[in-house]
Structure 1
Amino acid sequence: MSEVSTPEQNHSGSVSASVLDVPDSRMSRATGVGVLLLALLTFLYGLGSLHILGNGDEMVYAQITRATAASGHWLPLASDMPDMVNTKPPLLFWQGILSTDWGHQWTLFSLRWPSLIWTFLTALLVGLVAWQATRQNLTASLLAASLYLGFLSTYRYGRPFLTNPPETFWVFLCFFVMLTWRPWSFSSRFIFPTVIGSIAGIALLTKSFAQLLPIGVALAWWHLYECRWNWRTFLFQRAPSLAWTAVLALGIFSLWFVLDPDPVAIWKEFVVSENIGKMSTAHSSYVEAMLWGRTSIWGLCLGWFLNAGLLAFPLLGTMVRAWQHRSEATEEEKFLWILAISFFLVFCIPTQRSGRYLLEVMPAIAVLMVIHWRRLLPQAFLTTLIASGVISTAVAWISLALARETSGDIFGWCHWPILIGSIALPVVALFDRLNWARYAVPSTLCVYLSLSSFAGIFDGPLGRFSPAAIATAANRVVWVPENFRAAAELERMLLPGARVRGYNTALSHTGPENMSAGDLVLLVLPLREAALNEAIGSRIELASRHSREQLFEMAQGRVWEHLFCRQWLLPAPSIEMVPP
């Protein structure tokens, strides 16, 4: 995609090139296809890993899916945790039930592969919108799809068993339909409002009825802009169609209440606790929570760049260039900015603000970045290349150190070539200044690939219990310390046949009070701790959820103390003999 990468400057020194000027050559198309194939490889590699880059909610959803499948019924949803049953609408759990064949194929890969399908379908929509927004430029279309797949948020939330992949697809599909069939989609009184309402209803069933608010605000703003801010036209011609769309979407969502035998539980657990509860705050006032703290609106602003990850500076450059060239913005660009701003403004309202709430509009951000891609300064891409090289080098250093620590060939044959390629690509790019942009997305994808390859060693013998330990744990209760809800669910993959139960990590050196003498317990100790004579088995684990102090100490070089640990499988009575 070299034709997309080099900015052209006018005599005054300002960047004036636009993606609309890009020659759509065969070479650039072939390069774009190659980057997409690299993205596919990156997203597939380690998809069934125990340590996929994701979110702790995945195990909560997996636990609900497993319990519901075991019940033999689609509804009501079931859970081992009484207070975590109706935490989300049923579509995600039904997806998991089908992909695992009602729990008979209970693997992480079986749970996750549908997420990959949703993510790449969204990337397809991104490419199609970019194709339309850039006068059918296929090179720009391929770049937009690869940019979306290169976002950290897409890689982190677009692979695990989470609500985000299907939700993002269905939400963005609403606006894709409106843009693709414009102006008929805006002037339609029934057909398109019905189509959009149906799509939005499915989107609500994947996440929450609350999603209707940002969708509705964005659609209303689009209609207002389309009718040139004529409020009379909007109120008498457009508003009734929007109202029908909202009613239909809510009607589809309400099927959950109709089909579930216990709608009162849904109201209490999902509507009141899960959704209305997000308006509560630990601060003394709502305004204070909005302006200060981790969940302030400033934190939400930062969410755009955290979602972009290594492409944060190109995103910042896009915002600057979009403002500078706002008078030249096309209709498609204006609609996409309205979409992004609408979601941001709506999600400033709840007190629990998070960059995850912006995931649904990251596809629009990818298209906007393509529109201004050739206007960006080379320094924006230089930050991506330097950061990619630094991270890949750090992964290589930790890999070498871990190999020495374990005194064995623990990495697969492909790990070192992946690391060499991940380091070499940004280094080579530094000597090709005119084409830095060409290397930005591939370098980012290579970082993800190197991280996944490194985490893959914990899927092998190093990170698993021995067959003898698995046989010993079969049909016995195994107590697992949890630093997040349902975190023990992962141990079911490691100890098939065991009756896994979680307990608070604060009791990790004493065990839960209701533990019996015949039970087993997992104890987590530092990697370099001496072996326990009473242990049935052990495995090396990547530590998670580090405190600020631990992250600071790791930055000072104390990596081994906090990044790795060892899980010991012990008979319950033995835990009292282990010194704290």
Structure 2
Amino acid sequence: MPLSNLKPAMKQSQSTENSRPSSHLIWLGLALVVALGYLFGLGGDHIPRNGDELVYAHIARLTAESGNWLPLVSSFDFMRNTKPPFLFWQAMIAGGWGENWSLINLRLPSIFYSWSIALMVGLLTRKIVREQSAPSAASNQQALKMGAIAAIVYLSFFSSYRYGRPYLTSAPETFWLCGVFFAIAWSPVKLLASRWKFPLLAGIAIGIGCLYKSFAMVVPVGFGLALCYQVVGAGKAPWQLLRPGIVTDAIKVLAICVIALALFGLWFAIDPQPGEVWREFVVGENAGKFKSAPGYWHVALGSGGMLVILTGYFSNAGLLLPVSIGMAVAAFKSWRRKTAVSPAEKIMWLWLLALALVFMLPNQRSTRYLIAAMPALGVLIALYWSRIGKVWFGLTLVLCVIGLLVMGLIGYGAVTATDMKDIYSPLFWLYLLAVLLACLLGMVRKNLTRSIGTLASFAILFSLAWASAPFNGEIGKFKTETVALLRGQVVQVPSNFNGHFERYQFMLPGAKITPYFAAQPVDFEPVNALFKTSRYALVQRRVGTPPCSDCRIIDTRWDLRSRQDEKDGTMAAFTSPQTYFFAQEYLVESLKPTPTEPVKP
């Protein structure tokens, strides 16, 4: 080709390349889409959550109705001072002290915290990747891409989705506690050498985190900080304590912990009932976790013992469990090859280690206790993303395909139960099909395995929200006239978990909710006994089963069952999904007059 023709061809090629969106912009766009996906279904009654959300919504509502910040108020003495006040104050402010009391208002602060954590994860990852390569436009784009991937990974963890959206959330303490370690990782030399500014600010941040969770969080955080000062600041092994500066560093860690505890201690200073706080929160809620009738080692080595913590980070990752294991394998191989590890990456590992070691000690162990370090896991997965074997992403895709089949089963059960073929739009089924094809493509096309495997986990979480969406809508609500009818009336409602009855405060605002215990609401039999104390009652039944024989049905709605009966067996989900996942809830009244209702002549 003549040279004169080559230059225009080169310019045309460069123009074509510049017109294509760079991969880092695509990943940044995907990260934004995933973050906004957290809003879908946020105000619904059926989102993945901890059942205790409703307990704390109950306490926050009654405290707001009292008109005072403290003491905390509850209908039950055994569940009042079970969390520090910041959690309840957050709800009271978001709900306008009862004026705007809705699930979406109570949950929005959790979303802002989760988004802030994801941004923090992305920015730190970007900084680490950029520092590991020579400055150039390509390296900056690669750093942005990996930062976006880190944010997507964190938001795709099941623990992030389940506990980072509801009102009862781990997002606030995760932000404040993990934020201290992220700050150190951002500038380890400067902050670890700081004489008083960083210790002061760190103590305040940890204190705020404790006021959301517990003063006990000072222990793992203090341990993690001590490891950072020792391993990163001094460059020594954790056991090499005889070194210059050890006393200074110990004083800094101690000062941080004291400041945090002093800030937490303000609860006792301003609460009108400090003795109740000590009895219920310190002794009952915290010291009680060390009690064990069978014996410490019997519990520690049992099925719910230390193994829960040892595998906790992996199980918290949800469908990304294989990828998180693959990251650990890749990290181990890098350690065997003695590959250099940046100070920031070391800090992430130290925070993961500190939290796990400390929470192996109590007799009550749960993977929830490790959520505060999940942002660090998100950073590490992004840092090792290209070194994680594709087989691990392939296994994640297999889990996602199984998840899609479950979503399809739930959708089929909803159509069968309600006999509404249009309960889902065609887009829902097209979405499931598209995600399924994408997962299969990721298994076949090795160059797409990592990318699709990274995105597929959140795609399944989103499909779960979509599958439950109709039951957060009109078919899951009572009619407007029913809500008006029950305003000021006593209504008996089923409850099979602490505070589960609080959900009806959002469905029937203004009604006087009175709970009755029903281990399996669909099987509750003594309905007539409910009418001895109230005119109205809510009764759940399996699809096609009448609520009672001697009562009048006023209204009905569809509900998702949250606690299935073990005697039904898992196979019931496949053989009869319409009754396994769904139930009808009836508002009924007795055909006979109640004792408080005068007999009409």
TM-score of the two chains, using structure 2 as the length reference: 0.87
Give the corresponding residue for 2:308. Answer: 299
Q: Deviations over 1:483-519 (max 9, x none)?
A: 1111011111111221112121159422697864543
Which among 350, 357, 363 is matched to residue 345 of structure 1?
Answer: 357
Give the alignment of 1:26-425 within 5 angstroms.
Answer: 27-136=22-131, 137-225=143-231, 226-227=233-234, 228=236, 229-282=240-293, 284-293=294-303, 295-326=304-335, 327-328=338-339, 329-408=341-420, 409-412=422-425, 414-425=427-438
Q: CA offsets, 1:245-267, max 9 Å, x none?
A: 11100000001111111111100
Deviations 1:549-573 (A, max 9, x none): 4452335523233221111212257
Taking the aligned partners of 1:574 and 1:388, their CA distance within structure 2 comes to 53
Q: State how far apart, in whole Å, the 2-side matches of 1:574 and 1:159 are.
A: 44
Name the CA shift for 1:272/1:424 in 2 (closer, same or farther; >3 Å). Answer: same
Could you tell me which residue of structure 2 aligns to residue 8 of structure 1? none
Q: Among residues 456, 463, 479, which one is paired with 2:469 in the alignment?
A: 456
Equivalent residues in 2 for 1:502-541, closer than 5 Å: 502-506=515-519, 508-510=524-526, 516-530=532-546, 534-541=552-559
SS at match of 2:167: coil
Deviation, structure 1 residue 387: 1.9
Mapped to 1, the partners of 2:53 and 2:461 lie a distance apart of 19
CA shift for structure 1 position 208 = 0.2
Contact 1:42 1:448 in 2 (8 A): no
Say if 1:84 and 1:513 are closer, same or farther in 2 by CA, change over 3 A: farther
State the AA in 2 paired with 1:571: E
**Match for 1:389: what amino acid?**
V
* CA distance in 2: counterparts of 1:537 and 1:391, whole angstroms: 34
Q: Once the two structures are superposed, what CA deviation does each residue of 1:433-490 show, in whole Å capped at 9, x if it has no partner?
A: 2221101232111111111011111122221222343233221111112111110111
2:575 aligns to what? Answer: 557
SS of 2:26 mapped into structure 1: helix
Bigger mean CA deviation after superposition, 236-245 or 203-212 = 236-245
Deviation at 1:155, TM superposition (A): 0.5
Mapped contact 1:163–1:207 kept (Cα < 8 A): no
In structure 1, C-alpha distance between the alignment counterparts of 2:207 and 2:351, rounded to whole Å: 18
Q: Could you tell me how far apart the structure 2 residues matched to 1:515 and 1:247 are?
A: 56
Q: After superposing the two structures, state which structure 1 stretch, 510-519 or 537-546, moved more.
A: 510-519
Query: Where does the alignment leave 5 or more consecutive residues of structure 2 unmatched?
Result: 1-19, 132-142, 595-601
Q: 1:363 & 1:234 partners in 2: Cα distance?
A: 30
| Residues 47, 465 of structure 2: 8 Å contact kept | yes
Cα 1:316/1:196, change in 2 over 3 Å? same
TM-score, normalised to structure 1, is 0.90
3-state secondary structure, aligned to 1:233: coil
Q: Secondary structure at the match of 2:99?
A: coil
Once residues 535 and 291 of structure 2 are traced to their aligned partners in structure 1, the CA distance between those partners, rounded to angstroms, is: 40
**Contact 1:516/1:572 (8 A) holds in 2:** no
Contact 2:185–2:344 (8 Å) recurs in 1: yes
| 3-state SS of 1:135 partner | helix
Per-residue CA deviation, residues 5-44 of structure 1 (Å, 9 max, x unaligned), is xxxxxxxxxxxxxxxxxxxx96221121122122123211
> Residues 413-440 of structure 1, C-alpha deviation per residue, up to 9 Å, x if partnerless?
6533433333333133234222211012
Aligned equivalents of 1:237, 1:575: Cα separation in 2: 77
> What is the CA–CA distance in structure 2 between the aligned matches of 1:413 and 1:105, rounded to whole Å?
35
Distance 1:50 1:375 in 2: 41
| Shift in Å, 1:186 | 1.0
**CA distance 1:351–1:234, change in 2 (3 Å):** farther
Q: Which amino acid aligns with 1:477?
A: V
Against the structure 1 CA distance between its residues 258 and 281, is the aligned structure 2 distance closer, same or farther, given a 3 Å change threshold?
same
Amino acid at match of 1:40: A
Displacement after TM superposition at 1:389 (Å): 2.4
Q: Please give the alpha-carbon distance, in whole angstroms, between the structure 1 residues aligned to 2:225 and 2:408.
A: 47
- CA shift in 2, pair 1:341/1:248, >3 Å: same
Q: For residues 91 and 196 of structure 1, what CA distance do their matches in structure 2 show?
A: 18
Write the deviation string for residues 207-231 of structure 1: whole angstroms up to 9, x where unpaired. Answer: 0000000000000111111212453
Identical-residue share of aligned pairs (%): 33
Tell me whether 1:480 sits opposite 2:493 in the alignment.
yes
Q: How big is each residue's C-alpha offset from its partner over 1:258-316, in whole Å with a ceiling of 9 and x where there is no partner? A: 1111111100111010111111124x2100100003x2111222322221011100110
- For residues 485-504 of structure 1, the aligned pairs below 5 Å read 485-504=498-517
The match for 1:544 is 562
Q: Cα–Cα, structure 1 residues 514 and 272, in superposed 2: closer, same or farther, change >3 Å?
A: farther
CA-based RMSD of the aligned residues comes to 2.2
**For the residues of structure 2 that align with 1:360 and 1:189, how far apart are their CA atoms?**
26
State the alpha-carbon separation in 1 of the partners of residues 218 and 593 from structure 2.
Answer: 51
Structure with greater Cα Rg: 2
- 1:119 is displaced (CA, Å) by 0.4
Q: How has the CA–CA distance of structure 1 residues 572 and 95 changed in structure 2, closer, same or farther, with 3 Å as cutoff?
A: farther
- The alpha-carbon distance between structure 1 residues 430 and 395, as it changes in their structure 2 partners (threshold 3 A), is same
Secondary structure of the residue that 1:375 maps to in structure 2?
A: coil
